[in-house]
C-alpha cells in the first residue's frame, strides 16, 4: 500500500515536472518591427534575405515585421516616425551625424549594458562611444565612404595606365571621351553622394586631418582657404570634364550596372558597392577590377592615399521597450552584427566584419579579397556628414550640386555654410 502511494506520488511529480518543463521551455511569440536600410532591387538584397532566413531559423519565436527603405527616403521616413512617436522596435542607424536627432532626443537605448563583456568580441574602433558616451547602434563594419574603383582591363584597352596624380587623371579625359565613355562614373542625383563619397575625402586630402580637427573643435572656419580650395576642386572636376554633367542626373542605383558593363574605367562610390558589383561580375572578370583612392592632388596637406572612413551603420533599439521585446530586439541587433550574419555579408558582399573572426577560413570572391586588402593600405579622415549636423551639411550637399551646375562660387557657398553653423 505504502509502495503504491509512493509510486503515485512519484508519477504525479514526474507528470507535473514534465508539464512545467514543456510550459517553461516554450518561448513566447514576439513580433519585432524592423525598419531596414535597403534598396530591395539591389544585388545586396540577397545577403539581407539570407540573414533574415538564418535569424528565423535560430529564433523561430521571433517574427520580424520588416519595412525596407533606401536613400533620403529612409532618413525622412525615420524622422517622420520619430516625430510621430512611432519608431519601430529596431532601426538602422548611423554612428553620428545622420542619426544625430534621434540620439540628441534619446529616442534609442544605449547598447553598452546589453553588450557587456561581449564588447571585446568586436574591433575596438567599432564599439567606441557614438554620442554622449553611449553606443546607440552596433556597427557591422568599418566603412570607407570613398573608393575609386578601376576597370584595369578597360584602362589598358584605352592605352592608359593608372594615374598617380590629379594632373595625369585629367590628361586622360579626351581619350576616354573619344571612346564614348564617362571619364569618371559617379551618379550623384542624390545630394549626399558627392559629399559622402568624394568631397569628404577631398577635404581630408586638401585641408588635412589637423584642419578637420580644428574645424570640429570650432577653431577653424568653413571660409578658410583650405575648405574653399576643396570646393573649388570639385568645380574643377566638372570644368575639366572628369565628371560629366550627366552624372548629376544619374540615379545612385545606376552606378554598378553601368560600371560593370564597361561604361567608364573609373567609378567613385563607397566600399559597400563591392556588394553590388560582385553579383554582376564573374570571378574572372573581378580580377580586372581594383579598389584604390583618388590620386594625389598638387599642394595637398593631407596624407597621400587617404580616404574618408567612419564606423559603419548597424541596428539600434527603440527607447522604452519592455518585456520580451527588449530581449528579442537585442537578439536581432547582436545577430545582425555577430558571427552568423557577418559570415553571410563576408561571403556575399566581401564586407569585413567588426566582429573578430578568422577570415582565412572563408572562400570569398576576388573583389571581396581586394576590399579586405584596401583598409590597411589607406588611412582614414572624417566623413563630413558624420561630424557636422543640421543645416550646414544640407547647405553643403545642395551647394555642391549648385557648384557643379555653375550657379554658385566656392567662396559664396563656404560663406553660406559658415553662416548656418
Partner 1 sequence: MIFVFPALAIYLAVIAFPIISSVGLSFTDYNIYKNLAIWTGLANYIKIFKDPVFWFSMRNNFFVIFVSVFGQIPLGFVLAYLIYRRLVKRSVFFQAMVFLPTVISTIIIGILWSKMFSPIGVVPRIIQVITNNPDYSMTIMTNKNLAMIPIGFVLLWMYTGTYLIIFLANLQNIDPDIIEAAQIDGATDGQIFRKIIVPQLYGVLVLTSILAISGSLRSFDLIFAMTGGGPAYYTNLLSIYMYNQSFIFHNYGVGSAVSTVMVILSIVLVILIRLARRKIDIMEA
Q: Name the residue nearer to partner 1 (CB basis): 129 or 406.
A: 406
Selected from 53, 251, 283, 377, the binder of partner 1 by CB under 8 A is: 251
Sheet of 90-93, strands arranged across: 62-69, 30-37, 90-93, 314-317, 138-139
| Among 204, 399, 414, 417, interactor with partner 1 by CB under 8 A | 399
Decide: is 190 part of the binding site for partner 1 (CB under 8 A): yes
Residue 40 touches partner 1, criterion: CB under 8 A: no
Q: Does 405 bind partner 1 (CB under 8 A)?
A: yes
CA distance 122 to 140: 9
Q: How far is the CB of 281 from partner 1 (least distance, A)?
A: 19
Select from 88, 333, 401, 417 the one that contacts partner 1 (CB under 8 A). Answer: 401
76 vs 161, which CB is nearer to partner 1? 76
Q: Least CB distance from residue 192 to partner 1, whole Å?
A: 11
Residue range at the interface with partner 1 (CB under 8 A); choices 47-55, 156-164, 203-211, 248-256: 248-256
Q: Binding of partner 1 at residue 414 (CB under 8 A)?
A: no
Does residue 82 touch partner 1 according to CB under 8 A? Answer: yes
Looking at beta carbons only, is 49 or 254 nearer to partner 1? 254
**Sequence-separated (6 or more) residues with CB below 8 Å from residue 355:** 121, 122, 123, 337, 338, 339, 342
Closest CA to 210 of 224, 190, 189: 224
Q: Which of 390, 411, 419, 421 binds partner 1 (CB under 8 A)?
A: 390
> Among residues 297 and 395, whose Cβ is nearest to partner 1?
395
Q: First and final CA of the chain: distance in angstroms?
A: 90
Which of 27-35, 293-301, 378-386, 404-412 is the region at the interface with partner 1 (rule: CB under 8 A)? 404-412
Of 379 and 394, which CB lies nearer to partner 1 in the complex structure? 394
Q: Toward partner 1, which CB reaches closer, 237 or 344?
A: 237
CA Rg, the chain, in Å? Answer: 25
Stretch touching partner 1 by CB under 8 A, among 12-20, 37-45, 147-155, 396-404 = 396-404
CA-nearest of 314, 313, 374, 309 to 144 is 309
Decide whether 8 or 40 has the Cβ nearer to partner 1.
40
By CB under 8 A, is residue 391 in contact with partner 1?
yes
**Would you count residue 86 as binding partner 1 (CB under 8 A)?**
no
- Separation of alpha carbons 163 and 181, rounded Å: 17
Distance CA 310, CA 281 (A): 27
Find how far residue 347's CA is from the centre of its chain. 17
Does 282 interact with partner 1 (rule: CB under 8 A)? Answer: no
Nearest approach in angstroms of CB 45 to partner 1 is: 18
CA distance 5 to 242: 93
Total residues at the site for partner 1 (CB under 8 A)?
Answer: 32
Rounded least distance, CB 161 to partner 1, Å: 26
Chain positions 205 to 244 lying near partner 1, rule: CB under 8 A, are none
When asked if residue 402 is in the footprint of partner 1 (CB under 8 A), the reply is yes
d(CA 116, CA 64): 25
CB atoms within 10 A of CB 13: 10
Nearest to 186 by CA among 143, 145, 246: 246
Binding of residue 366 to partner 1 (CB under 8 A): no
C-beta of 205: minimal distance to partner 1 in Å? Answer: 25
DSSP characters for 306-328? Answer: -EEEEE--EEEEBTT--THHHHH
- Contact set for partner 1, span 98-117 (CB under 8 A): 101, 105, 107
**Smaller CB separation from partner 1, 61 or 249:** 249
Distance in angstroms (rounded) separating the CA atoms of residues 53 and 65: 13
What is the b/e burial string over 198-216, where b = at least 16 CB atoms within 10 angstroms of the residue's CB? bbbbbbbbbbbbebbebbe
Q: Which residue has the cell 595625369?
A: 168
d(CA 217, CA 212): 9
H helix and E strand count, the chain: 21, 11
Kindly list the residues in this chain that would bind partner 1 in the complex (CB under 8 A).
Answer: 72, 75-76, 79-80, 82-83, 101, 105, 107, 180, 189-191, 245-246, 248-251, 254, 258, 390-391, 394, 398-399, 401-402, 404-405, 407
Amino acid at each position: 500500500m505504502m509502495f503504491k502511494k509512493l509510486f503515485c506520488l512519484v508519477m504525479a511529480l514526474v507528470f507535473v515536472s514534465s508539464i512545467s518543463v514543456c510550459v517553461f521551455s516554450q518561448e513566447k511569440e514576439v513580433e519585432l518591427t524592423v525598419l531596414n536600410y535597403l534598396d530591395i532591387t539591389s544585388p545586396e538584397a540577397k545577403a539581407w534575405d539570407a540573414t533574415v532566413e538564418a535569424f528565423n531559423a535560430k529564433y523561430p519565436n521571433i517574427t520580424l515585421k520588416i519595412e525596407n527603405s533606401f536613400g533620403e527616403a529612409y532618413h525622412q521616413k525615420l524622422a517622420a516616425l520619430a516625430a510621430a512617436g512611432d519608431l519601430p522596435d529596431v532601426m538602422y542607424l548611423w554612428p553620428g551625424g545622420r542619426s544625430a536627432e534621434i540620439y540628441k532626443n534619446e529616442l534609442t537605448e544605449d547598447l553598452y549594458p546589453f553588450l557587456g563583456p561581449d564588447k571585446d568580441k568586436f574591433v575596438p574602433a567599432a564599439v567606441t562611444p557614438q554620442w554622449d558616451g553611449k553606443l546607440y547602434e552596433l556597427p557591422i563594419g568599418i566603412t570607407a565612404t570613398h573608393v575609386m574603383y578601376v576597370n584595369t582591363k578597360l584602362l589598358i584597352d584605352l592605352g592608359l595606365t593608372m594615374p598617380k596624380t590629379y594632373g595625369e587623371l585629367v590628361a586622360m579625359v579626351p581619350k576616354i571621351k573619344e571612346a564614348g565613355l564617362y571619364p569618371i562614373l559617379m551618379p550623384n542625383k542624390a545630394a549626399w553622394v558627392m559629399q559622402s563619397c568624394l568631397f569628404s575625402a577631398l577635404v581630408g586630402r586638401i585641408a588635412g586631418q589637423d584642419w578637420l580637427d580644428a574645424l570640429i573643435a570650432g577653431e577653424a572656419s568653413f571660409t578658410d582657404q583650405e575648405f574653399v580650395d576643396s570646393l573649388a576642386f570639385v568645380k574643377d572636376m566638372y570644368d575639366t570634364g572628369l565628371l560629366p554633367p550627366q552624372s548629376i542626373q544619374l540615379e545612385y542605383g545606376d552606378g554598378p550596372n553601368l560600371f560593370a558593363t564597361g561604361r567608364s574605367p573609373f567609378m567613385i562610390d563607397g566600399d559597400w558597392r563591392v556588394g553590388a558589383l560582385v553579383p554582376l561580375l564573374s570571378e574572372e572578370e573581378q580580377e580586372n577590377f581594383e579598389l584604390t583612392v583618388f590620386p594625389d592632388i598638387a599642394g595637398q596637406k593631407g596624407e597621400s592615399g587617404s580616404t574618408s572612413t567612419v564606423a559603419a551603420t548597424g541596428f539600434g533599439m527603440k527607447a522604452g521597450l519592455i518585456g520580451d521585446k527588449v530581449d528579442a530586439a537585442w537578439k536581432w541587433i547582436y545577430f545582425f552584427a555577430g558571427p552568423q550574419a557577418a559570415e553571410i555579408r563576408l561571403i556575399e558582399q566581401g564586407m569585413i566584419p567588426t566582429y573578430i573572426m578568422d577570415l582565412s577560413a572563408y572562400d570569398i570572391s576576388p573583389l571581396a579579397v581586394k576590399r579586405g586588402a584596401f583598409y590597411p593600405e589607406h588611412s582614414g579622415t572624417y566623413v563630413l556628414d558624420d561630424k557636422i549636423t543640421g543645416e550646414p551639411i544640407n547647405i553643403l550637399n545642395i551647394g555642391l550640386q549648385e557648384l557643379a551646375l555653375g550657379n554658385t562660387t566656392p567662396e559664396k557657398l563656404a560663406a553660406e555654410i559658415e553662416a548656418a553653423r
